[in-house]
Amino acid sequence: MGGFTPDNLVKAKEIIGLYPKARSALIPLCHLAQSQDGWLTPEAIVEIADLLDLAPAEVKGTASFYDMLHTEPVGRYLVGVCTNIACMLGGAYELLEHCEDRLGIRCGQTTKDGKFTLEETECMAGCDGPPCVTVNYRYFLGLDNQGIDQLVDDLEAGRLDNEIPPHGTVYRNSRNVGLTASPTQEPQAGGKSSQIAQPTPTKRGAK
């Protein structure tokens, strides 16, 4: 793993071209790097710093500020359990404990096979169906213990591959609407639907 792949390097330069100041591309480039490796590798941080004429410490400083940018390796599926008040009242702590037992890891850890990372999150705006569980930021509301077991089984078996891409995948990097790098290029209305994030799949538990 060493920085951007040649394709992504081209993409990175396009992204930089969107902004009057190169530094503004810092967060989009972090997303791009994360979509490539699933997390921000030190090599990627150094490469981003080089591209934007920043120091690696500045890139790391910015990246580490945001919870959704990961400067440590994470699994293919990042499982988040919200423990804010609505979810807590909906049994989030018990559910989190069950997740720990089911996955065999503690909160904040990654399974040995690199598939799952479990984390406790702040409010994800799923308060209408607590407790709120997210997998790579796709919502699963109102799951009970059996629901979690089922979800993990489905993920392990690859039954949800179409709905949940590996952690880090950000469709916005490959968008073809809105700002474009070169003014000569005609901005296309819409864009390929397959490249636009689908509405998040929501499963409501029977609770």
Site residues for another protein per CB under 8 A:
42, 45, 54-61, 64-66
Structure tokens at 183: 């003014």
- Minimum distance from CB of 195 to another protein (Å)? 31
Beta carbon nearer to another protein, 58 or 154: 58
Give 69 or 135: the residue with its C-beta nearer to another protein.
69
Q: Smaller CB distance to another protein: residue 73 or 187?
A: 73
CB of 22 to another protein, least distance (A): 15
Q: What is the CA radius of gyration of the chain?
A: 19
Long-range contacts of 199-203 (CB under 8 A, 24+ apart): 200/137, 200/138, 200/139, 201/138, 201/139, 201/163, 201/164, 202/139, 202/140, 202/141, 203/140, 203/141, 203/143, 203/147
| Distance in Å, CB of 41 to another protein, minimum | 11
Smaller CB separation from another protein, 80 or 130: 80
Cβ 68 to another protein shortest distance, Å? 12
